[in-house]
Structures are given as C-alpha cells and as structure tokens.
Structure 1
Amino acid sequence: MLESFYAAFWQRAAKTDVSQITSQLRALTQARLSDPRQGDLPKWLGAYQQLPDTQDVRVMLDDGVILRSDMSAEQSELLQQALRQMIPWRKGPFDFFNVLVDAEWRSDQKWQRLKPHLPELTDKTILDIGCGNGYYMLRMAAHDPRLICGIEPGVLQNIQFWSAEKYAETGAAVFPLKFEALPAGPPCFDVVFSMGVLYHRKSPLEHLEHIQKLLRKNGTLLLETLVVEGDETTCLIPQGRYAQMRNVWFLPSVPMLSLWLQRLGFKNVECVDVSYTTVEEQRSTDWMLFHSLPEFLDQKTGKTMEGHPPPMRAIIKACK
C-alpha cells in the first residue's frame, strides 16, 4: 500500500529534473518505513484504510483545504473516526466533507501572509521542507505546479497528508525523511519553502547552503522562521527551552538573517513580513489536546515562560 502512495509522484517526477534523485528518495523512504521503531505505523495505516471511498469529489484549495462530495451520514461517521485516530493534528484546518479538522495551527493565517509574495508556481517544481501534514503543499497545488515534493520526518504527519491526498489527488508526495538525508544537489527545484525549520537547526547556515544546492539558477527560497528584534549583530541562543520547545538553537534578527543569506550568495534578499504569533493562531483544540501557545506564554509579561521575547516570525524571500 505504501508504494501506491507514490505512484502518481514517480510518474510526474520522471518528466522533471527531480528524476535525478528519485532513486535516493525511494531507497531512503523504504529504509525509514521499515524501521521497527515506527511502532504506531500499523495503527495509522489502519486508520487510513478505514477512510471511506466516495465519488465525484470536489476539491477546493484556493480558500482553504476543502473537500466536498455526496457522502452519507454513515460514511461521514467512519471518516471522523478514522481521522481522530490520527490525532494530534498540528497544521490545518482541513474540511473533509464537512468534518472540520481544527488543527493546533491556523495555518491559513500564515498562508494569507505568504500568498501576496509567492513567486510563480505554475508549472514549477517545488520542495517544502518540514512540511508537516502537507497543508501548505495542498494550498500550493491550487497554482498548478508541475511537481510538489514534501519532506517531513514525522510518520504520523505523512499519513495525515496521504489521508487528504486520497481525495484531493494533487499528485504531490511527502517523504518521511529528515532534510539532511537528501543529497545536496543536483539543482532540481524552482522553488523551495523552509518554514518553521531553521531555528531547529544547530547549523542554520548549513541548512541554507543545502537548500541553495538544490535550487535551480534563479530559483526562489521562501524562508519563514522565528526572529528577534535587533541589528546585524543580534541573535538569541536560548540557554534552555524557548516557549517550552527544547530544540531551538538560533533566533537571529532580520538583518542578521539577511546577512547570512547574502554571505551564502543569495540575491534579492527581502523580508516581506514580520508578525507576532497570537494565541488565536496557535492553540489547543479537540484535534490537538496538548498544551499550546497560551500555556507557553507568561500572561503578565507577554514573554515566553522562560522570559524570552514572544514568538515573532519573519518571511524572507531570496533568489539563487
């Protein structure tokens, strides 16, 4: 069944430069999914198999991830039961035939900030690093790209994506890998998205350089990451946690981040948005039952519980 998830992607990739790395993608994915430590994979695949089939699906991706068909009440109940076995849902929302998956993140809000600054996506090859359950990939699909490839090590998030893709049939694919596992080249992507990834990297410049090697000439990077206020010399390195996250390493200022990109040879580096993350955008829901941003902030000071500046995110656009 797993191989069937990728059939449409392999066919599309064969007609692009991404064909140069498909053998590596296939081998790495097979090794990852055969890892015996993926103990919940049978459960999640079982939930996927419970998703009901339906005819004449209407797919609407311009204003959200919205799926419609003439699904019966019994099918709708089976659908909801299957999707709830895949909790927690971190990115969303997804509207599965009027079953609303209200995820932790209102990812549609970030997409609205990003959308005015998108490069041309039509007929382009796209890589989304740390794509989670593919919410943004599905939004990208509305622009009719040639190919969309997502990288996400969380196997649960992979199955969540395939649950939406079962009905959306965009031809995109998510691979259960760490970005570092990908070969650093050849340059085969027109657009690379790296959103919510950079601050988890011990070596952020290596991450950016890896992206650069996968980008085609004149390709576009869209980078979204946590930042702090300051000048070219400002960077926060939390001593412990940041907003209760353990694996946060570097939170540069926008000028420092821009300097990193310029030093690596990126051109036309531009900060197109800076926004504070609000508790309306990230919060606990019935589909993500753990603590979220409201519990990670000190309500008296507005800072994180560790005393750091509250989460502020920048979107940087740059060209190779």
Structure 2
Amino acid sequence: MINYSDLIHGLADTPLAHWRLDLEHQLQARLENHNNGNLPKFLAALRALPSTTPAHRAIDQDVVMVGTDSDLSTSEHSALTTALAALMPWRKGPFNLFGHLIDTEWQCNMKWARIAPHLNPLHGRIVLDVGSGNGYYGWRMLGAGAARVIGIDPSWLSVTQHCAINHFLRDDRHHILPLTLEEMTPNIQGFDTAFSMGVLYHRRSPLDHLEELRNTLRPGGELVLETLVIDGKEGESLVPEGRYARMNNVWFLPSVPSLISWCRKMGFEDVRCVDITSTSTEEQRTTRWKPGQSLADYLDQENPKHTIEGHPAPLRATILAQRPFGGRLARYGL
C-alpha cells in the first residue's frame, strides 16, 4: 500500500543518490510514528480496492483516466466507489477510474493548461512537486515526459489518495512523500524542476521558502512558483491580520513586482511572470466528492471581487525562474 522501496532503489543512479539513506530513515520513522487517527481508515480503504489490470490509461489529458467500465464486475464497482468515498474529500483532480468520475473541488486541468505551455520541456527531467496534494499534477508532469516526479505533502489523506490512483496505474516513477519541504535533507541540488503551487502564502517566511526551493535544484534548474498575489507596485504586499477567504494560515500576498524582487533577492535568475489569473467558481467549487463550502462561500456575495473579509478576491500568478550556474550565487551573498 504505502511502500517506498521502489523509490529508494530507483534513486541509486540519479543526481539524488546521496539523498537515499536519509530519506529511507525519515520515511520509516514517519510511517512508524504517524500519529494520525484517520490513517487506519485510509489504509482499510486501500485494502478494499479491487485488484485488476486496467485495459486503458491516460495521464496526458485533462482527466487522468484509468480503465473502463467493463474492466470491473458489479461487485468490484461497488467496492471501488465505497473505497474512494472513504478517502473524501477529494480536492485535486479530476480523475476517472473505471468510468467513475472523481469530480474534485479544484479543476486542476485549468491551472495546468495555463502553466504547461511556458515550462522548459519536462522530457527526461526529475521533478519535485512541493505541496503536491494527491499527485494530480505529477501525473500530468509524467504525461509531459518527466522521468520521475517526487511530490511532498504532509497530509496522509493526500498520500493515500495517491496510493489509490497508483494502485491501478502501477507507475513507480511517481511518489508522494509525507514530508514538508523544511523536513527534506537540506541543499539536495538534484532536481531539474521544482514546482511550488499554492504554498508560498502559507509560509510565515516566504524568503526562506524560496531559498529552500532554490537549494533543491541543480544549477540551471527551473523553479515554477504559483501563489496568491495582489494588484500593486514593487514593495507592496497584503498581510491579512485575520483570515483570508476563511483561511487562517495566510501570511503574505505580494504584488507581482514584489514577488519577482523576492525571487531575485534569493538568487534566482531569468525571473518572469507568465500568467496572472483570477480564481473562478468554475475552477474551484463544491462537488459530491468535496462537499461543504468552497470558493463561492468565501467571497462577498454582493461584491465577489472581494473576500468575505473585505480583501481582494483570489488572484494567482505563476513565476518561472532559474537557479544560477556555477558560482554566480556568490554575487547575491548566498
């Protein structure tokens, strides 16, 4: 179910080989001392998944798809839907498993369509996905040619949702680790591309986050940074005193010029903004797979250009940047 032996073995002949021992010990400790009361329920759901070899798979399209309706018997369909329901809420997707559409809260295909055309080609790259959730974007990265994707997310629900999808895809090139970026071995410098999407505004120290991301990359590696921003000039940022869109863990929403300046300050080069998009209720909404409140409930009903707290409504920017080659970081005193 949750097994990282393929990953540890697979890193042997890669630029991440030096990480293997630390990672193996860290994952073993995390699995043995998870302290999560819901994990037994999640693992039971994984054990209940039907065992079958899908006739079809597609990871290079909007809906990550595994199998067809005819691959499963009636009882297997019932077991599948029960197991998937036990892993709710499903926030990132969409997925289609044997004809069952998991219509997730976030239509992540919309963000991927905005970002993918601007990326350096992922073919053959080793990719880090920080705050990966259940790994939807990782499948799209593999579909775009990545050699390996390692996602990190401390949520056991995200880890087990990924295990449920990979139970059928059976692809040892994609793993989700129950870790945060801060918990990773420092200064790995082995990833070709690092994604951080929807994470920076949750960090009390955004500059530390940028430094940690830079240190995961090889010289010349690419950062893909997507985060909440505000409309404003360089030097301007929103620091909500209370909640933002009902989230109490939002710290800094910079203007795009401020965000670019932060990236340059932390030693990145070729920093540019490739997309700015307002989050819509088409992209983020309540579904049967994620009941309860969603974006529409977080906005001012009379003026949806503002959150219910009176802040600017969610606006997301995507920044691309490069870790310098050689000793050029020295010019930044880093």
Give the TM-score taking structure 2 as reference length: 0.92
Question: Does 2:311 correspond to 1:308?
Answer: yes
Check the 8 A contact 1:12/1:147 in 2, yes or no: no
Question: Does 2:159 correspond to 1:158?
Answer: yes
CA RMSD of aligned residues (A): 1.2
Question: Does 2:68 correspond to 1:66?
Answer: no
Match of 1:252 in 2: 254
Aligned AA for 1:68?
G
Check the 8 A contact 1:228/1:251 in 2, yes or no: yes
Aligned AA for 1:229?
D
Match of 1:116 in 2: 117
Structure 1 residue 256, shift from structure 2 partner: 0.3
Partner deviation per Cα, 1:24-81 (whole Å, 9 max, x = no partner): 2222222222225211111100000111011244210111311114222221111111
| C-alpha distance in structure 1 between counterparts of 2:26 and 2:10, whole Å | 19
| C-alpha distance in structure 2 between counterparts of 1:17 and 1:289, whole Å | 42
| C-alpha distance in structure 2 between counterparts of 1:187 and 1:36, whole Å | 28
Structure 1 residue 146, shift from structure 2 partner: 2.1
Structure 1 residue 88, shift from structure 2 partner: 0.6
Structure 1 residue 98, shift from structure 2 partner: 0.7
Check the 8 A contact 2:269/2:321 in 1, yes or no: yes
Match of 1:318 in 2: 321
Match of 2:233 in 1: 231
Match of 1:76 in 2: 77
Match of 1:217 in 2: 219
Aligned AA for 2:213?
I
Structure 1 residue 22, shift from structure 2 partner: 2.1
SS in structure 2 of the partner of residue 17 of structure 1: coil
SS in structure 2 of the partner of residue 223 of structure 1: strand
SS in structure 1 of the partner of residue 80 of structure 2: helix
Check the 8 A contact 2:131/2:153 in 1, yes or no: yes
Partner deviation per Cα, 1:151-197 (whole Å, 9 max, x = no partner): 00000110000111111123211111111101221310000000000
Identity of aligned pairs, percent? 43
Question: Does 2:119 correspond to 1:145?
Answer: no
Match of 2:170 in 1: 169
Give the aligned length: 318
SS in structure 1 of the partner of residue 179 of structure 2: coil
Match of 2:329 in 1: none
Check the 8 A contact 1:62/1:142 in 2, yes or no: yes
| C-alpha distance in structure 1 between counterparts of 2:263 and 2:168, whole Å | 38
Query: What runs of 5+ residues in structure 2 fail to find an aligned partner?
Result: 324-334
SS in structure 1 of the partner of residue 129 of structure 2: strand
Aligned AA for 1:46?
A
Aligned AA for 2:50?
P
Match of 1:126 in 2: 127
Query: What runs of 5+ residues in structure 1 fail to find an aligned partner?
Result: none
| C-alpha distance in structure 2 between counterparts of 1:131 and 1:186, whole Å | 18
| C-alpha distance in structure 2 between counterparts of 1:174 and 1:19, whole Å | 18
Report matched runs for 1:34-49 at 5 Å: 34-35=32-33, 37-49=35-47
Check the 8 A contact 2:59/2:143 in 1, yes or no: yes
Aligned AA for 1:15?
D
Partner deviation per Cα, 1:253-294 (whole Å, 9 max, x = no partner): 000000011111211111000000011111111111121111
| C-alpha distance in structure 2 between counterparts of 1:205 and 1:15, whole Å | 32
Aligned AA for 2:157?
L
1:186 equivalent among 185, 188, 208: 188
